[in-house]
Structure 1
Amino acid sequence: MRQVLLLNASYEPLTTLPLRRAVCLVLRDKAEVVHHDSTGAVLRSASTVMEVPSVIRLRRYVRIPFRTRVPLTRAALMRRDNFRCAYCGHRAETIDHVIPRSRGGKHVWENCVASCGPCNHRKADRLLEELGWVLRVTPQVPRGAHWRLIGITDDSDPQWAPYVTQYAA
């Protein structure tokens, strides 16, 4: 699904959202289009023709509360681990708790890793020591403002670069 970069009224990047949500914000006059899609694609309805947006900006400023910790979400965890299994290095599809929740493990950044299906199934509710496994990297809490921009990857729309580069460092 096509993603659109959402900017605050101050041009600070907030997040990415699906094209459908972005179009709704623009049609309701809650946002304005900053850049159109570079392919020149258009959306048509019975009464309106609209160029597909690539970057939109909210008309009113939205205050983002300061958070000391980045919220733990599936997308953020997969991005932190680069979509790689923490046990074998293959492509990850699931999330695993290093210390299983059934054994008192918490659902926190330091205890969660991305995992492939076979490794997650083999590990089940056992500890790493019981299996003789080692983590490829120690799970840590991600830091920095750029973790709010979950949808931004290296192959994202090049038109986003002027808005994202200062936050993705």
Structure 2
Amino acid sequence: MSAVVVINADYTPHDVVSVKHAMKMLYRQVAVVEEEDAGQTFGPYPLPRVVRLIKFVYMKWRGAHRAGVPRYSRNNILKRDKYTCAYCGRYGDTIDHINPVSKGGETSWMNCVTACYDCNSLKRDRTPSQAGMSLKFEPRIPSFADLI
């Protein structure tokens, strides 16, 4: 199912949610459709792409998310990398820490990439250079649009 971008009442990015969640927000009248996907429907309703919250929601607890940075999650890493292994370019559905946690690496946007099972198993708890592997692309902090 597609993702829907949620913007705050002041038009700043707020979140990315499922279509089902966005439809619940519309039903409860806490959001309005700003942009819809032409030709796509959710039941009898047009499929929303962007919804705007009616009232401003203060997000102090979200830290970097307030600055327009999507929150880190396994699913968001997979979406950012388009389910493509950073080592071989094939389909990937596991997450690899470039600098392993056992060697002081963090769980962050810039230290995690999508990997296929074979490459992740081959690399184990080593850096890519120690494992004789190289990255096909560098990790980056995505925008909300990258995760749709």
Structure 1 residue 149, shift from structure 2 partner: 4.1
Q: Which residue of 2 aligns with 1:103?
A: 103
Distance in 2 separating the partners of 1:81 and 1:41: 27
Distance in 2 separating the partners of 1:42 and 1:131: 47
Structure with larger Rg: 1
Instruction: State yes or no: 1:134 paired with 2:124.
Output: no
User: Which amino acid counterpart does residue 52 of structure 1 have in structure 2?
Assistant: P
CA contact (8 A) 1:14 1:148 kept: no
Q: Which residue of 2 aligns with 1:56?
A: 51
Structure 1 residue 19, shift from structure 2 partner: 2.1
Distance in 1 separating the partners of 2:68 and 2:5: 23
Structure 1 residue 122, shift from structure 2 partner: 1.6
User: Which amino acid counterpart does residue 107 of structure 1 have in structure 2?
Assistant: T
- The normalised TM-score by structure 2 is 0.70
Q: Which residue of 1 aligns with 2:125?
A: 125
Structure 1 unaligned residues grouped into runs of 5+: 44-49, 153-169
Aligned counterparts, 1:9-158, within 5 A:
9-39=9-39, 41=41, 43=43, 51-54=45-48, 55-65=50-60, 67=64, 70=69, 71-139=71-139, 141-142=140-141, 147-152=143-148
Distance in 2 separating the partners of 1:79 and 1:58: 24
Question: Which structure dedicates a bigger proportion of its chain to strand?
Answer: 2
- Cα distance change on mapping 1:29 and 1:93 into 2, 3 Å: same
Structure 1 residue 22, shift from structure 2 partner: 1.4
- The normalised TM-score by structure 1 is 0.64
Say what the alpha-carbon RMSD is for the aligned residues.
3.1
CA contact (8 A) 1:77 1:113 kept: yes
Structure 1 residue 60, shift from structure 2 partner: 0.6
Deviations 1:89-138 (A, max 9, x none): 22221111123223333323343222111101122223434432223344
CA contact (8 A) 1:15 1:151 kept: no
